[in-house]
Amino acid sequence: MRKLVYSGNELSITNPELVEEWDFDKNYPLTPDDVTFGSNRKVWWKCKNCGNEWQATPNTRTSGCGCAVCAGRKVKVGFNDLATTDPDLAKQWSYEKNEDLTPQMITRGSHKKVWWKCQTCGNEWESTIHNRRAGNGCPVCGMKKARKTQQLQAAKKNNLAKEYPDIANEWNYEKNDEPPENYACSSNKKVWWKCNNCLHEWQAVINDRTRYHHGCPKCNMYGTSFAEQAIFFYLKHSFDDAENRFVINGYEFDVFIPSINTAVEYDGVFYHNNLKSLNKDNKKDNYCIKNGIRLIRIRDNKMTNTDYAEIISCKDANDKELQKAIEELFILLSVDNVPVSLERDRYIILSDYHKSVVKNSIISLNPEIAKEWNYEKNYPLTPDKVLCGSNQIVWWKCEKGHEWRASVNNRAGRNYGCPYCSNQKVLAGYNDLATTNPKLANEWDYNKNELRPTDITAGSNKSFWWKCSKCGNEWKAKVARRSNGSGCPVCMLKQSRINMRISKAKANNLVENYPKIASEWDYHKNEEPPENYASNSNYRAHWICHYCGKEYETKIQHRVLNGDRMGCVSCRRKHKTSKKC
């Protein structure tokens, strides 16, 4: 029933907008006409936006306090929970570290710290939902992004592709995510490269390539560098007899000029920056002093100087410093007007180097070994691109089809051949013990040996366990000794005794001396015939009495000593009894 008299303080009059959120069902029979705007009586409300139902006094409602769900103070699944309002952010929720707390239990404006898991890098970190919605993301990815920005800014000033086009030309576009234009020459980023010469792929730091001129590790010339080849290039133009990688009494020099008895060494940080290298360099200095050879070293200034050589200090290994050092070298050699320009001559130097490789390659200097080059497994590397003295390990294939890996130097310099044909290595089915000597392999002790007969050669000097197929004796012996005829020690001892007995039997044979006694020999139970025994043998033999047919045992010498007396005990007793009777 509608109220007849109004005071003017009724909620329906003072705040008609709140009447829309009055919950008539739950407040029945109470209506907005029955309460004043300042009432402290708790009543039910229903939000017109989200449908949330809650209790509050008219006084708090008229003071501005509204729906807790719409204000973000209360979670309503499907309306203001994080999973509903920010599904992309909810995907980064770390369910493992947040344990029972889920995105459906928290609002987007919460200042609670929770765990997140980056979908890009997998990093997990703590942050409030409020900060995440403000734009704060994964700190690891953020750091990467900052470095990326820094990298691109550095590349604008000192671009790899622009400053070192020959090095950038070996950039591996398939394995690197970004092009060389995005990196500075001094970058410490480790990237992939692809050699234009042998197509080998390898990883190296950009700064190492630009600073130290490191090239392809597969086709490097005994560890040579661009700097060394550049020095040789200019010296060769001034001295016709200049030689690269020249060896004198075991000492190798980067460049040697016989006409002026002078050696030149390039000492870069990469190959010389340790105590072992310093000692080696000092030995070379001493050799030169004793033999009257002038030695000039172009040496990185970060390294300790050697004892006696003339030093040209090179502040850095870039082209500018290297060119300056080469010019200083010609001043020391009293050679004028040498136009040194690494920028102009770079590709000529590299071209000359590659020509030198072909000239001194395996296929040129050692064609016989080149015939065993394994083109399939070494692809795309070919023997015309590898020096004879290289320590590079490659694949080989002999005329019998055996495949193995060995350094080029070992094959060309030391004449090492197929390890399987020479029995240095085992190849099952070809030179293993089971294949070459199956009879011997039958005595292999599988219980005591970890290896099998297929794992060793017949000439191996390693000791293994064996089990005699005749007597079951187990013993240890070298494979080579067994292959040469060494057998079971127990059987060998037994055989030696037999041989000794047979030799004695030849001089005093039982059959020849006592044929009547020998006629009772039991050929089934005795392993050997009576011809193999001497008359005085201690062997306890088996006999068959020719009178009664009974079998008995007694020593040979006892039969002989008894003379014509019967050997059979039964017959002897019968004979005694008949005599008494």
Residue pLDDT, tens place only, 289-345 = 999 999 999 988 878 888 888 999 887 556 788 889 999 999 999 998 889 998 888
Asked whether the predicted pLDDT for residue 22 surpasses 70, the reply is yes
**How many other CB atoms are found less than 10 A from the CB of residue 494?**
13
Provide DSSP, 248-302. Answer: ETTEEEEEEEGGGTEEEEEE-HHHH-SHHHHHHHHHHHHHHHHTT-EEEEEEETT
At 490, give phi and psi (nearest 5°): -70, -45
- Do 113 and 18 lie in a common domain? no
- Do 287 and 306 lie in a common domain? yes
> Rounded to whole angstroms, how far apart are CA atoms 444 and 545?
45
- Do 540 and 562 lie in a common domain? yes
Among residues 240, 230, 224, the alpha carbon closest in space to that of 349 is found at 230
> Looking at residue 565, what is its pLDDT?
67
Is 502 a domain residue?
no
Query: What one-character DSSP code corresponds to residue 93?
Result: B
0.85 exceeded by pTM: no
- The distance in angstroms from the start CA to the end CA of the chain is 158
At 44, give phi and psi (nearest 5°): -95, 140
CATH number of the structural domain spanning residue 270: 3.40.960.10
Share of the chain above pLDDT 90, in %: 15
E strand segments, 381-460: 393-397, 403-407
Look at the alpha carbons of 253, 259, 262, 264 in this order and tell me if their dihedral is positive or negative. negative
- Do 178 and 277 lie in a common domain? no
> Rounded to whole angstroms, how far apart are CA atoms 456 and 474?
19
Q: Half-sphere exposure (CA, 13 Å, Cβ side) for 241? A: 8
> Looking at residue 111, what is its pLDDT?
84
* Residues 366, 341 contacting (CB under 8 angstroms): no
Is 571 a domain residue?
yes
- Do 148 and 130 lie in a common domain? no
Tokens at residue 538, please? Answer: 């201690």
How many domains are there within the chain? Answer: 7
**104: buried, middle or exposed (CB in 10 Å: 19+, 13-18, 0-12)?**
middle
Bridge-based pairing of strands 474-478 and 540-544 is: unpaired
Is 303 a domain residue?
yes
> Looking at residue 222, what is its pLDDT?
40
- Do 541 and 481 lie in a common domain? no
Bridge-based pairing of strands 201-205 and 190-194 is: antiparallel
Look at the alpha carbons of 68, 71, 75, 79 in this order and tell me if their dihedral is positive or negative. positive
Is 4 a domain residue?
no
Can you name the residues that pair with 33 across neighbouring β-strands?
A: none
Tokens at residue 251, please? Answer: 């000492």
Is 428 a domain residue?
no
Q: In what order do the strands lie in the sheet with 262-267?
A: 243-248, 251-257, 262-267, 294-300, 310-314
* Residues 310, 332 contacting (CB under 8 angstroms): yes
Domain that holds residue 239: 226-359
Mean pLDDT of the chain: 84
> Rounded to whole angstroms, how far apart are CA atoms 127 and 120?
17
- Do 230 and 355 lie in a common domain? yes
Among residues 561, 541, 500, the alpha carbon closest in space to that of 530 is found at 541
- Do 242 and 333 lie in a common domain? yes
> Looking at residue 238, what is its pLDDT?
92
Helix, strand and coil percent figures for the chain, each rounded to 5: 40, 20, 45
Tokens at residue 357, please? Answer: 């490789």
> Rounded to whole angstroms, how far apart are CA atoms 132 and 129?
5
Residue with the bigger pLDDT between 257 and 106: it is 257
Calculate mean pLDDT across residues 176-185: 89
Is 26 a domain residue?
yes
Out of 100, 121, 137, a domain closes at: 137
- Alpha-helical (H) ranges within 408-508 are 408-414, 433-436, 438-441, 479-483, 489-507
- Do 188 and 238 lie in a common domain? no
* Residues 302, 269 contacting (CB under 8 angstroms): yes
What letter represents residue 487's amino acid? G
> Looking at residue 221, what is its pLDDT?
41
* Residues 271, 299 contacting (CB under 8 angstroms): no
What letter represents residue 443's amino acid? E
Out of 171, 188, 212, a domain closes at: 212
3-state secondary structure of 112: coil
Chain segment 476-527, per-residue pLDDT in tens: 889 888 888 888 888 888 877 777 777 776 777 888 888 888 888 999 999 8
- Do 517 and 570 lie in a common domain? yes
Out of 159, 184, 212, a domain closes at: 212
Q: pLDDT tier at 272 (50, 70, 90 boundaries)?
A: low
Residue with the bigger pLDDT between 337 and 572: it is 337
3-state secondary structure 525-544: CCCCCHHHCECCCCCEEEEE
Chain segment 181-235, per-residue pLDDT in tens: 989 888 888 999 987 655 678 899 988 888 766 777 765 544 456 788 889 999 9
* Residues 17, 47 contacting (CB under 8 angstroms): no
> Rounded to whole angstroms, how far apart are CA atoms 85 and 336?
79
Is 2 a domain residue?
no
Is 419 a domain residue?
no
**326: buried, middle or exposed (CB in 10 Å: 19+, 13-18, 0-12)?**
buried
> Rounded to whole angstroms, how far apart are CA atoms 424 and 427?
10
Q: How many separate helices (H) and strands (E) can be counted in the chain?
A: 28, 17
Least confident among 135-149, 227-241, 345-359: 345-359
Residue with the bigger pLDDT between 411 and 234: it is 234
**Distant-in-sequence, close-in-space partners of 434: CB < 8 Å, separation ≥ 6:** 428, 441, 452, 453, 454
- Do 238 and 278 lie in a common domain? yes
Tokens at residue 353, please? Answer: 């180097």
- Do 16 and 91 lie in a common domain? no
> Rounded to whole angstroms, how far apart are CA atoms 367 and 175?
36
> Rounded to whole angstroms, how far apart are CA atoms 44 and 38?
15
